[in-house]
Amino acid sequence: MEKAIISITLLLIIIIVSAMVILSLNFIKAENEFSETYSYTTAICNSTNFCQDNIVKCNKNQVISISPITGAAVQFSHDWQDLRDEETRNGFCG
């Protein structure tokens, strides 16, 4: 009887430890997948100095989507210059 209790206790410990390892591995995998996807906002301007704010969604260095933000736009004067560097203006998810 005593051996059966020890065997059951050891079996339960093995099952609990195995479950904890499996759950922690799944958490690490989910955390890595989550950290590779991100989003940010940026203004995209055209040749007439009309600028529209957009939400840029990225997965690693690839664009998933670019969506305009309704009402977040401005028309600058014809002599306005965008002072952002080329990479900031046109380098999405890089």
DSSP assignment of 13-74 equals HHHHHHHHHHHHHHHHHHHHHHHTEEEEEEEEE-TTSEEEEEEEEEETTEEEEEEEEEEEEE
- Tell me which residue of 57, 49, 45, 48 sits closest to 88, measured CA to CA: 45
pLDDT at 4 exceeding the cut of 90? no
Q: Is the dihedral of CA 27, 66, 62, 39 positive or negative?
A: negative
Q: How far apart are CA 45 and CA 76, in angstroms?
A: 10
pTM: 0.61
Return the higher-pLDDT residue of 68 and 10.
68
- The tens digit of pLDDT for each residue in 12-62 reads 777 776 767 777 776 666 666 667 899 999 999 999 999 999 999 999 889
- The tens digit of pLDDT for each residue in 21-31 reads 777 776 666 66
